[in-house]
Amino acid sequence: MKSVLVLLGVLLPLISSGQSGLTDKGLFFPKPSNNSYVSLTPQKPLNLEAFTLCMRLSVDPAVVDKKDRETILFAYRTQYYDELNVWQEKGKISLYMSSSEGAFYAVPLLSIFRTNLTLTWESSTGLTAFWVDGRRSTLQVYRKNHKVQSGGVVILGQDPDSFIGSFDINQSFVGEISDVNMWDSVLTGDQIRNFNEKVWVGPEPNVLNWNTTKYKVHGNVIEVPKKYK
Ligand SMILES: *[C@@H]1O[C@H](CO)[C@@H](O)[C@H](O)[C@H]1NC(C)=O
Ligand SMILES: *[C@@H]1O[C@H](CO)[C@@H](O)[C@H](O)[C@H]1NC(C)=O
Ligand SMILES: *[C@@H]1O[C@H](CO)[C@@H](O)[C@H](O)[C@H]1NC(C)=O
Ligand SMILES: *[C@@H]1O[C@H](CO)[C@@H](O)[C@H](O)[C@H]1NC(C)=O
Ligand SMILES: [Ca+2]
């Protein structure tokens, strides 16, 4: 017990200044809030006709599993639109791209243990898939011929209903996020599985790269030291 307390004391609360690179680190959102979030600066504008978005997540089930709770996992918002949002809600994981209609996937839900989650989408066919720990869901066709628009902000921890604010404590993320990486193309299954195992040999993540990304912490978010990787 004592060693647990000592270890917890080592988790460093971040000050709100821009930093870069989160290699082998996580971001821990310890409790529901309407003001704790992390903004990430993309390496290139998100005018995307295809993407692969990977992240590693664990959640506090006592909060996130509450009936009817919607929990934001990833948000990319421009001035007027939710360009690309990922949720866990209604017993499913969902994707919305500037539409009130989402694509819902009945994949295994996030839990107290870390899960490798990847989404892929391409405009030309609309084919969309969720990968959970290296296993691919069935495909769906979602937002064929759509294009994700640039000029927005990537937010972890909150769902912004305005640019950038209007957060809802009951939609906040509670748990740990790491290894958020994004490409402007659809990776192969082997590349996604390699990513999960951190034996990375495929193309460098060219939209968001967790190892180098500039990020800014707001509110109560704890940077998890490398030894917990
Ligand atoms: C955020 O939460 C605090 C207290 O928990 C509350 O006083 C405040 O009104 C909330 N702000 C918004 C924008 O909901
Ligand atoms: C998920 O990612 C972790 C960390 O890299 C890795 O050790 C683990 O094997 C992955 N799990 C699966 C089932 O892909
Ligand atoms: C959040 O949910 C709780 C419990 O359902 C409710 O009492 C509260 O009003 C909600 N807060 C907001 C800001 O919606
Ligand atoms: C990030 O850094 C870790 C640790 O050095 C490495 O294992 C991983 O492959 C890197 N990820 C990418 C996408 O380059
Ligand atoms: Ca909202």
Percentage above 90 pLDDT, the chain: 87
Strands across the sheet with 37-41, in order?
A: 19-20, 214-218, 37-41, 153-156, 71-77, 82-89, 92-96, 103-105
Query: Ligand 3: does its nearest atom lie under 6 Å from the Cβ of 63?
Result: no
Q: Which two tokens stand for residue 196?
A: 């999960």
CA distance 94 to 146: 17
Q: What is the mean pLDDT of residues 171-176?
A: 98
Ligand 2 center–CA 226 separation, angstroms? 16
Query: How would you classify residue 49: left for phi > 0, otherwise alpha for psi between -120 and 50, otherwise beta?
Result: alpha
Tens digits of per-residue pLDDT, 110-137?
Answer: 999 999 999 999 999 999 999 999 999 9
Residue nearest to atom 10 of ligand 3 (CA): 170
| Tens digit of each residue's pLDDT (9 = 90 or more) over 17-33 | 589 999 999 999 999 99
Answer yes or no: is the C-beta of 89 below 6 A from any ligand 3 atom.
no
Distance from the CA of 123 to the center of ligand 3, in angstroms? 37
The DSSP element (H or E) to which 189 belongs, if any, is helix 189-197
Q: Determine which residue's CA is closest to atom 2 belonging to ligand 4.
A: 23
For the ranges 7-11, 96-100, 176-180, 206-210, the lowest mean pLDDT is seen at: 7-11
CATH number of 27-221: 2.60.120.200
Q: How far is the CA of 34 from the centre of ligand 1 (A)?
A: 6
Question: Where in the chain are the domains?
Answer: 27-221
**Mean pLDDT (whole number) for 48-72:** 97
- Among 6-20, 77-91, 170-184, the minimum mean pLDDT is found in 6-20
Average pLDDT, the chain: 92
**pTM reported for the whole predicted model:** 0.91
pLDDT band at 13 (very low <50, low <70, confident <90, very high): very low
Closest CA to 74 of 196, 16, 157: 157
How much distance in Å is there from the Cα of 193 to the middle of ligand 5? 32
* In the predicted structure, residue 78 carries a pLDDT above the cut 90: yes
Nearest CA to ligand 3 atom 5: 170
Please say if the pLDDT value at position 16 is more than 50.
Answer: no
Give nearest CA residue, ligand 3 atom 4: 170
Which residues crowd ion ligand 5, with CB under 5 Å? 159, 161, 168, 171
Q: Using a 6 Å cutoff on CB, does residue 170 contact ligand 3?
A: yes
